[in-house]
A and B are shown apart, each in its own frame.
Chain A
Amino acid sequence: MKAINTEHLTKYYGSKRGIVDVSLSVDKGDFFGFIGPNGAGKSTTIRTLLGLISPTSGSATVLGKDIVKDKTEILSLVGYMPSEASFYGGMKVKDLIAFSAKMRGIDCSVEAKKLCDRLELDMSRRVNELSFGNRKKVSIVCALQHSPELYILDEPTSGLDPLMQREFYSILRERNEKGATVFLSSHVLSEVARYCKSAAVIRDGGILVSDRVEKLGHTGVKRVCLRCTQELPDIKGAKDIKRENDSINFLYSGDIKLLIQELCNISFEDINITDPDLEEVFMHYYVKEEN
């Protein structure tokens, strides 16, 4: 059984595109990063999985349950954290967290207290007086206090300071090691590269790639750095060519031998061929291809 499985999931808001034909599969126990630029469809996908919006076509299951028919059941197994949380004004942090637990029909005040301590969240304050980062922490506690099987987190770290981000990820790792699945969206490429086991890239409403993070790094694409003053000949497979003073920098995908042959025709002082780092791979998907 998959933690999340979507098949040709499509959502249009009237005629406006949300997501188109999204087929995504997340294994149980995975730590999955869902990345893409603003407006790519990350939140639309997540909101559809949680039944906040209904799909135009396609289907999806969460923990083996259908997102349309078994909505309530799914919600009881999932901890969700929205990208921008708003709460009932005037309520105290501890009352809000307790309300969230009671709506789930469970008492997890001990766990809530532990989480608040770790995140340094003052439970006696009123939610409407909190800063963006502190509201985010309230959201985290509401999503984590009932120790669900699956965590669906929409841009969880935006607004958190670096120390808190680290603490948050270490909590998630602990939960993940105990068997829970983590699915988080982000546009911070480095954090996905650092913490996630698998990742998918979404752009313009469609999934571009989805794989294990280590495999995503071995794309057969090389970053080539040449030190030379000559113009680069037209090499097939060279992309993203940038000239900077006396060096040329480009991405190459294709047969390495052909590249070497082409480069024999020009003179250069030095050459450096490396695997691009993961961030660069993601960036490559981010930026629209010219043709």
Chain B
Amino acid sequence: MSSLGMADKVAIALVLLALAGQLFFQSARRRAPYSKLRKVNAYQSADLLISAVAEKGRRLVLGIGNNLTDQGASLSGVAGLPLLKAISRRSLFNDQKLQTVSGDGVLACLSQMVTHGAYQNAVAVELFQPGEAVLAGTTRFASLAGLLPEVNHRANGGVILSGQFEGETLLALDLAARKNILVAGSTASLGGQAAFLAGVCNLALGEDYYAPAASLETDPAAAASLRAQDLLRIIIAIALLVGAGLTIAGVL
């Protein structure tokens, strides 16, 4: 423990603060977890898109990214799965089934488990088809090549991309725009965010990427997380400003 540097101690303090915030908001807002909760535009758009696509009897494609276990594995790779859970529950009995595409073996398996679980919960497991959640490819470009035909499908009414995507995703966004298919997207990667901004896309930036379950009101714990992370963001912003001020003043 004695080998912990200043940065490690600050990191531990932030994590403890985050934990305290999570527990506080989870218990304080137990009765009305979504009351006065900040909404993320991209997920609100995704919500409208899900309903519009279902009403028109069109198909919805959900891309959950192409990086979970390779190229620097991180938790941000699984952030698309809460969205998959939320959409699966709502679209099980639609005319056209939700098509999930992933670019990573583990993500593909997890997406199949989540989709299968949604059918199981609805006591309709016999309707599940493994083809509803497929592995598009095992590299960035291979998964893009797998995503493009899914976007190009004639029954498509909307595309939601939520996961780790890079700049080349712009090809899929451009294809969707040319076919007048609505797109909503969120990604943690900077290259992907630039592509989503340039393409026609309702985009979730930064920490909002992790808030699909809170915005779609499917997980009270996620709502508590959104409140806690907003508080943490303010604390960090103030700390940065104070730190910069003290550095300029020569104190630090």
Do chains A and B stick together as partners?
no
